[in-house]
């Protein structure tokens, strides 16, 4: 299966740099709507036959133009929602943002017992996301576009893809409407083909542009 994991468009909380993870959460800014409207043209060459989105408003608004262009229904799943910020919800201070990324990338490194302060464990987060990916694979779809959220896409991909490292995912931001393209299946290895347009080779990738501690809030 070809899997296109797409981060949602810009929200007011992204502008503030805040850890906004509750459901349903905010909608898109005017710029975010423009970003969403550009997705169909950007993916015009992709043979997409299924669409998924998280329960959060920003994800559903982001995928709407693509759904209209393809004439496909959007399957909405709770398991695709963002990593909850727990007691750090709506914080935008450096310490909170760094802690949020530290815990999530710690999960990707195998420390699944660790909990986000006041929130979920890695077992819970990856378990719910894995369940939706497995549903996609069982559907028989050859190419799935899924609009989800920055932190869960980066951490899950780092944990499940055979050819990128956790360090690579931590260093490389996923901007609004940025896309990670993978091929594989839950029963075998996932491999990243491209990360926001950066082609990923056959070997394990751990180099990349430094984006600052933790990247950006999801």
The string of pLDDT tens digits covering residues 96-134 is 999 999 999 999 999 999 999 999 999 999 999 999 999
Comparing CA positions, the residue from 137, 114, 133, 134 lying closest to residue 124 is 114
Please tell me the distance from the alpha carbon of residue 177 to that of residue 158, in angstroms, as a whole number. 19
Predicted TM-score (pTM) of the model is 0.93
Place of tokens 């963002």: 82
Kindly state the tokens that stand for 57: 């408003």
The string of pLDDT tens digits covering residues 191-210 is 999 999 999 864 443 333 32
Please tell me the distance from the alpha carbon of residue 78 to that of residue 32, in angstroms, as a whole number. 22
Query: What ranges do the domains of the chain cover?
Result: 2-199
Q: Which residues contact 139 (CB under 8 A, 6 or more apart)?
A: 50
User: Buried b / exposed e across 29-64, counting CB within 10 Å, b at 16+?
Assistant: beebbebbbebeeebeeeebebbbbbbbbbbbbbbb
What pLDDT is attached to residue 216? Answer: 56
Please provide the size of the chain in residues. Answer: 218
- Return the CATH number of 2-199, one of 3.30.450.20, 3.40.50.1240, 3.40.50.150, 3.20.20.70: 3.40.50.1240
Please tell me the distance from the alpha carbon of residue 77 to that of residue 199, in angstroms, as a whole number. 29
């Amino acid at each position: 299966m070809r899997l296109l994991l797409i981060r949602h468009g810009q929200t007011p909380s992204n502008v503030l740099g805040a850890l906004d993870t509750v459901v349903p959460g905010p909608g898109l800014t005017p710029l975010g709507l423009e970003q969403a409207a550009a997705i169909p043209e950007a993916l015009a060459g992709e043979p997409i036959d299924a669409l998924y989105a998280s329960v959060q408003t920003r994800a559903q608004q982001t995928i709407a133009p693509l759904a209209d262009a393809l004439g496909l229904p959007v399957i909405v799943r709770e398991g695709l929602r963002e990593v909850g910020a727990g007691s750090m919800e709506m914080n935008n201070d450096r310490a909170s943002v760094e802690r949020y990324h530290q815990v999530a990338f710690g999960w990707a490194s195998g420390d699944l017992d660790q909990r986000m302060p006041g929130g979920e464990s890695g077992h819970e987060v990856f378990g719910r996301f894995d369940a939706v990916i497995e549903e996609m694979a069982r559907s028989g779809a050859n190419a799935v576009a899924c609009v989800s959220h920055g932190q869960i896409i980066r951490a899950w991909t780092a944990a499940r893809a055979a050819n990128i490292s956790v360090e690579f995912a931590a260093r490389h931001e996923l901007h609004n409407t940025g896309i990670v393209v993978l091929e594989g299946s839950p029963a075998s290895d996932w491999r990243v083909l491209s990360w926001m347009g950066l082609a990923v080779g056959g070997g394990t990738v751990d180099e990349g542009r430094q984006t600052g501690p933790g990247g950006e809030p999801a």
